[in-house]
Amino acid sequence: MTAEHAHAEGDEAGPAASVSVLDEILAGVREDVARRQEQVPLERIRELAAAAPPPLDAYAALRRSGVAVIAEVKRSSPSKGRLAEIADPADLASDYAAGGARAISVLTEGRWFGGSLDDLAAVRAAVNVPVLRKDFVVSSYQVHEARAHGADLVLLIVAALEQNVLVGLLERIESLGMTALVEVHDEEEADRALEAGAQVIGVNARDLRTLEVDRSVFERIAPGLPSSVVKIAESGVRGPHDLIRYASAGADAVLVGEGLVTQKSPREAVAELVNAGNHPATPRPVR
């Protein structure tokens, strides 16, 4: 494949690295995408994407006052295994929205996270807030899939993508009216995200290669991001105290999965975080 084709279509990904959980996940993702593309060709998925209702403005939603909560539909994770039996993701998403979640994140990777595109479509139909397709996106086919199933945001993980592919996928996401949430884990990846044109950057405290969590990562990276960029703290939010810590470092939003799905009442857990994010004493990002 030529560099131009990779830039346009985003069909290659992954800098060379030692075998890790991320590498294993990406290998499975590519197999699954190839299988789905045999079942539903790219031309057809593009038609379905074009026919979907217009996406919501996620950037504007996350820029509103207060620290936003992005609540995640998450059954499993590589680090913890099975987290929750979520029989009806639409019901869970509705509870999240009722609790004040500004957006809903839906894991659609099946092998490690127990998610699916059906989950995404079900959540989209149940809520009127922006919905994120959280997956390991390595091709433009997945971007069109996301739009066809109602996504407003699509996750791009810098560690999983060569720079030209990152740029191509980000451009494709925006061309379909969606917002790219570009995930980084260190300063070098943050620079790459900015160079690619990212307007929404998620700083993941969890290292995707070791699965360890270090909340100080956000505190190191966020101050170097422009005020125009929406800054999302990912991983490590167990309660309001963690939200406030991230807010103090400049977070516009926090993305929370395990800390919600493992609660007896996810709705109340979301509301507690939302209240903390809106409290007058909680630091506000400089804009």
235 carries an active-site annotation: yes
Give the contacts of 96 (CB within 8 A, at least 6 positions apart): 71, 104, 127, 260, 266, 267, 270
134 carries an active-site annotation: yes
Give the contacts of 149 (CB within 8 A, at least 6 positions apart): 52, 117, 120, 121, 124, 133
Catalytic residue, from 12, 72, 162, 272: name it. 72
The C-alpha R_g of the chain, in whole angstroms, comes to 17
Q: How far is CA 241 from the centre of its chain?
A: 22
Catalytic residue, from 109, 162, 171, 234: name it. 234
164 carries an active-site annotation: no
Catalytic residue, from 171, 183, 189, 272: name it. 183
Contact 203, 218 (CB under 8 A): yes
Catalytic residue, from 76, 105, 140, 235: name it. 235
The sign of the CA dihedral 35, 37, 40, 41 is: negative
Catalytic residue, from 9, 74, 76, 162: name it. 74
- DSSP lists the bridge partners of residue 261 as none
Pairing mode, strands 200-204 and 131-134 = unpaired
Catalytic residue, from 134, 162, 171, 272: name it. 134
Catalytic residue, from 204, 219, 258, 272: name it. 204
Contact 172, 43 (CB under 8 A): no
Known catalytic residues are: 72, 74, 134, 183, 204, 234-235
